[in-house]
Chains A and B, each alone.
Chain A
Amino acid sequence: DGGITQSPKYLFRKEGQNVTLSCEQNLNHDAMYWYRQDPGQGLRLIYYSQIVNDFQKGDIAEGYSVSREKKESFPLTVTSAQKNPTAFYLCASTGQGNTGELFFGEGSRLTVL
């Protein structure tokens, strides 16, 4: 079945450590996105990519990094520079010619101990 797979679902990290969240899609979508969600809050855009080897910062990119080496994959690294990394991270994608509907993965919950 086509979809977006995020891993891991739960992740614990010590302060000062970098961590990479995986996002893979088999929908043949060109554009991919990373959002952060805090309790009781909406989604905030971290980074997005519309094409391989190209990506743009969203509203809260500081302390995060991404890469887009393959169309199917858009990993997010939460660096030690991110001051408050504990959150629920959501990856999404949309296809060329799409109406704008986003398809989301099931999310990764990161907790910094």
Chain B
Amino acid sequence: SQQGEEDPQALSIQEGENATMNCSYKTSINNLQWYRQNSGRGLVHLILIRSNEREKHSGRLRVTLDTSKKSSSLLITASRAADTASYFCATDASSGYSTLTFGKGTMLLVSP
């Protein structure tokens, strides 16, 4: 089954810096989603970008999608210590109800 692969696997930055995470996938998609997971907790949906969209913003989050390269990036601007978490991309190739396929995630550490 198709799977998103995040890069880098781990990222360590200082508060105030920007964090960029990348996701590559293998087959055509309807949409791509980003989720956040704090250690030992459930995932929380951050943002969804459809295959006909190139860029989307939500607060300090900016997501881009390049379907020709089968890749997406998540940018977190002005990071905070509270942004420390794992971030996953998930691809949806279905019509109707989702059967998302998740990548292995990027672990982000933001130091004060």
Contact = CB atoms under 8 A, between A and B. Distances in A.
B42 A101 contact: no
Contacts of A40: 104
Interface stretch (B14-22, B55-63, B69-77, B95-103): B95-103
Contacts of A43: 43, 88, 90, 102
A94 B101 CA distance: 15
Q: Which of B3, B33, B102 has the most CB of A within 10 A?
A: B102
Nearest to B100: A102
B41 A100 contact: no
Nearest to B107: A40
A25 to B, nearest CB: 12
B11 interface: no
A45 to B, nearest CB: 7
Given A43-B88, A101-B33, A50 B97 contact: yes
B87 to A, nearest CB: 11
A104 B3 contact: no
Given A42-B3, A43-B88, A99-B48, A104 B42 contact: yes
B40 A107 contact: yes
A35 B103 CA distance: 13
